[in-house]
Amino acid sequence: MVLDTQQKVRRLVVKVGTSTLTRETGSLNLLNMERLARVLSDLEGMGYQVVLVSSGAIGIGTKKLRLMERPTELKMKQAAAAVGQCMMMHVYDKFFAEYNRTVAQILLTGEDVDAPVRSEHLHNTFESLLELGVIPIVNENDSVSSAEIETGQCKVLGDNDTLSAIVARLCDADLLVLLSDIDGLYDADPRTHPEARLIHHVEEITPQLRAMAGGAGTWRGTGGMATKLNAAQLCLEAGIDMVIANGSRIEALYEIVNGADIGTRFSGGR
């Protein structure tokens, strides 16, 4: 099935998780970062306005600092994020520059989005950058943010799934794509249930769907399906389509913007 979205999608937000950007060893996945830069640059050249929401700061900082494992203490996570964010932007800047694209860094916290004046400034900044043909790269300002602290096993700082939906709303996007280490939303956990089936289309986030999605992600990232459903809810409320797809095939973005039936699409009223 191909949805008739070609005319509709003009402004696109793509979110990539730490598991797409780093290897099992914690090193950068340069192949994926390069592919991402190439595909997003190409989409920009095709007339789409593109915003990238990128995780990875803590994971990349952990490796760069030669820490044995991802830190658990908040201040160490914040320190790792400060180091990793810098390295991550350096690599993005380099890869996007290969395709003659300019990127910008935007770091934000929950408070920035909640405060009306700050959020208006953010909105205006996105508008100006996109008008200038710049590709904004967004992450949570992990070194100052502690608003969304949770004491769960893997989630301490805020999650970028929710952040990306907030960004999609802030910049009036038409589509949010979450590139993950999973093909989409399944009716059971495919890691433990091989018979699990992919759900292609969701119109509404029901309590049953939430129960089905379960929790946690991998050690390199923080999100799981629960945070993706929060993001979907925020998008559905704002009339923005959202797709969860596997980040191992970044070229799928070409088909996704054309409405191809890849991963799980959340869209109301179809």
Please tell me whether residue 26 binds ligand GLU under the rule CB under 6 A: no
Cβ within 8 Å of residue 66, ≥6 positions away: none
Scan residues 87-116 and list those touching ligand GLU (CB under 6 A): none
Please tell me whether residue 139 binds ligand GLU under the rule CB under 6 A: yes
As to burial, measured by CB atoms within 10 angstroms (0-12 exposed, 13-18 middle, 19+ buried), residue 42 is middle
Point out which span in 56-64, 112-120, 129-137, 167-175 binds ligand GLU (CB under 6 A): 56-64
Point out which span in 37-45, 52-60, 182-190, 241-249 binds ligand GLU (CB under 6 A): 52-60
Please tell me whether residue 17 binds ligand GLU under the rule CB under 6 A: yes
Distance CA 270, CA 252 (A): 22
Please tell me whether residue 41 binds ligand GLU under the rule CB under 6 A: no
Which residue, among 139, 17, 155, has the nearest Cα to 74 in the 3D structure? 155
Distance CA 143, CA 188 (A): 35
CB of 108 to ligand GLU, least distance (A): 11
Point out which span in 65-73, 97-105, 152-160, 172-180 binds ligand GLU (CB under 6 A): 152-160
Q: Cα angle vertex 219, ends 56, 210, to 5°? A: 95
Cβ within 8 Å of residue 267, ≥6 positions away: 3, 201, 203, 236, 241, 242
Token pair in block for residue 130: 């996109």
84/184 with CB nearer ligand GLU: 84
Q: Residue 135: what are its φ and ψ, rounded to 5°?
A: -100, 105
Please tell me whether residue 71 binds ligand GLU under the rule CB under 6 A: no
Point out which span in 3-11, 221-229, 234-242, 247-255 binds ligand GLU (CB under 6 A): 221-229
DSSP element (H, E) containing 165: helix 160-170
Please tell me whether residue 57 binds ligand GLU under the rule CB under 6 A: yes
Token pair in block for residue 22: 């780093």
CB of 199 to ligand GLU, least distance (A): 22
Please tell me whether residue 142 binds ligand GLU under the rule CB under 6 A: yes
3-class DSSP assignment, residue 147: coil
As to burial, measured by CB atoms within 10 angstroms (0-12 exposed, 13-18 middle, 19+ buried), residue 72 is exposed
Please tell me whether residue 241 binds ligand GLU under the rule CB under 6 A: no
Q: Which of 221, 247, 259, 263 binds ligand GLU (CB under 6 A)?
A: 221
17/263 with CB nearer ligand GLU: 17
Q: Which of 56, 71, 224, 247 binds ligand GLU (CB under 6 A)?
A: 56
3-class DSSP assignment, residue 154: coil
User: What's CA 36's distance to the chain center, in Å?
Assistant: 12
Please tell me whether residue 222 binds ligand GLU under the rule CB under 6 A: yes
Residues at the interface with ligand GLU (CB under 6 A): 17-18, 55-59, 81, 139-140, 142, 157, 159-160, 221-223
